[in-house]
Amino acid sequence: MKKLLFQIFALLLCGVCMAVLLAACSDEPAPESGEPPAHTHAFGDWTVTTPATCTAAGVKTRSCSCGETETEEIAATGTHTYGTDNKCITCSAAWFFTEGLSYEAVGEGYAVSLGQATATEIVLPYYYNGKPVTQVAASGFASSAITDVLLTSRVTTIASDAFANTGLKTLVIPESVTSIAAGAFAGCGALEHITVITGNETYHVAGDCLIETDTGTLLLGTKNSVIPMDGSVSAIADRAFAGCVGLESISIPAAVTAIGKGAFSGCTNLAAVVFGATGGSWYVNTVAAPSGGIQVPTANAVTNAGNLTGTLVTRYWYFASAGDPGSGGTDDAKDDLFKN
């Protein structure tokens, strides 16, 4: 009962409020007659009072003959565009890059390598000697102490073993990169995350796997990789997971028909491998020598190996299609294992 009374009271109170508000509106004084016509501002052209930079907003101003002024913000462009002197062509801001790197002329630009640099976090220049730094040289930073690298939007090519056996933790592939050699990042066991900048038409990342989009080749994985099961990966490149000590399990989709040399070499904690295909033809590039196999630790679980039955040999797996048992190889006992 008390509750009902309160609700009625609240409704009445609302009604009073509304009435007061309406009364206030109608009480506004009517405009007096005979007032001079209002002045309409006539503003002149905008003039830039503070130019925008690449990173900071600017200001523009315009004024009326009555003295009234208006200002408006000019948006920052948001990005620097670096010229051949590694300075922004718009705002002259300098690009600070690692000193001591070495450069070798290649094509219309330069290939870069560690040289005398002692930094562990490497920042590449956009240009050297007035020409773009377009490549990371083969083995350019291999087995060095570097932990991070910033590749510029001039880089198109990352050559074989460019960053092999380094402590890179993350990797960002710019939009400009069109060629990454297999094994360019082999042995980067600390790698946790790979990113490809949106707009790169050659590579993409899915499930933390670096994939060459057109060929469906998985070039590089990390300990966090999960190979996409949607058919977008059909091959695993040489040394794609080499030295990936944090990788504990992997599922290889049925769509994968080729696995390159040493794809899982040095994956010392890889304890479970699940094959999506149970009867397909699996093969590697060569079956004649141990280096042609996929090196894995002994005694690890292999599920759904299908016609790979018995292919766990010493520390290598050898995959061969039914018609290609690797006959003529150096080890007949191993050859037998390829037969269905």
Interface residue list for Zn ion (CB under 5 A)? 41, 54, 64, 66, 68, 80, 88, 90-91, 93
With beta carbons less than 8 A apart as the criterion, state whether 191 and 168 touch: yes
Q: Which is nearer to Zn ion, 63 or 156 (CB)?
A: 63
In the complex, the smallest distance separating the C-beta of residue 160 from Zn ion, rounded to whole angstroms, is 35
Answer yes or no: are the C-beta atoms of 217 and 180 closer than 8 Å.
no
| Least CB distance to Zn ion at residue 273 (A) | 50
Say if residues 101 and 115 touch (Cβ distance below 8 Å). yes
The least CB distance from residue 58 to Zn ion, in Å, is 13
Contact 184, 194 (CB under 8 A): no
Please identify, using beta-carbon distances, which residue of 45 and 214 lies nearer to Zn ion: 45
CB nearer to Zn ion: pick between 63 and 224? 63
**In this structure, what token pair is assigned to residue 85?**
């002197």
Shortest Å, Cβ 39 to Zn ion: 5
CB closer to Zn ion, 64 vs 258: 64
- Measured from the CB atom, the residue of 52 and 171 that comes closer to Zn ion is 52
**In this structure, which amino acid lies at residue 193?**
H
Find the shortest distance in angstroms from Cβ 125 to Zn ion: 16
Question: Bridge partners of 123?
Answer: 150
Give 219-222's long-range contacts (Cβ < 8 A, gap of 24+): 219/180, 219/182, 219/184, 220/171, 220/180, 220/184, 220/185, 220/191, 220/194, 221/247, 222/191, 222/192, 222/193, 222/194, 222/246, 222/247
